[in-house]
Amino acid sequence: MLDPCRITIVTAGPGHLPGILNIENQLISSWTPGQIEEELTLAHGWQFIAAQTNSHKVLGYIFGSICTDEAEIRKFAVANEVRRQGLGRTLLAHSLTFLQSQQIASCFLELRESNTAALRLYSAFEFKKIGLRKSYYNNPNEHAIILKKQIQTRLP
């Protein structure tokens, strides 16, 4: 079982690339190493990793971008061996707190229609379905559900 006291969430950087790629290789829709490297240096981007405090092993990551007062979650994954232990919830909560601190009004994302576990997680954080992109994913071909969350920004 994952001990939350032994997890650290930090801003992702190039030194985390090998650990990120280890998780990425477990995914249905994986990105290339070049795409991940580009994401880590994205202008107006934000990237966090969750790692074991003692070993610094990357256990999960979340990447996004900001445009004016909107954010998009572009990539979010947790290592197979620690799924369903609250790490995804922790990463998402950390990211939404960060977005709130940046005065972001709303956050968007797409996910595979069949990804019911992720849909439950996002629903718990009050993301709402706002659309469908037909045949958005391939290998296998699948629709994408578009989700949006209104973020409560602090008053000036």
For the segment 18-35, what is each residue's pLDDT rounded down to a tens digit? 999 999 988 877 888 999
Do residues 8 and 16 make contact, with C-beta atoms less than 8 angstroms apart? no
pLDDT score at 155: 44
In this prediction, residue 17 has a pLDDT band, given cuts at 50, 70 and 90, of very high
Yes or no: domain 4-150 corresponds to CATH 3.40.630.30: yes
User: What pLDDT, in 10s, does the model give residues 50-105?
Assistant: 998 888 899 999 999 999 999 999 999 999 888 887 899 999 999 999 999 999 99
The domain ranges of the chain are 4-150
Per-residue model confidence (pLDDT) at position 154 = 52
Residue 2 or 8, more confident? 8
Q: CB within 8 A of 138, min separation 6: which ones? A: none
Between CA 58 and CA 152 the distance in angstroms is 30
- For residues 56 and 63, the answer to whether their CB atoms sit within 8 Å is no
- How is residue 98 written in tokens? 């960060």
Q: How many residues does the chain have?
A: 156
Q: Quickly state the pLDDT bin for 127 (edges 50, 70, 90).
A: very high
pTM: 0.89
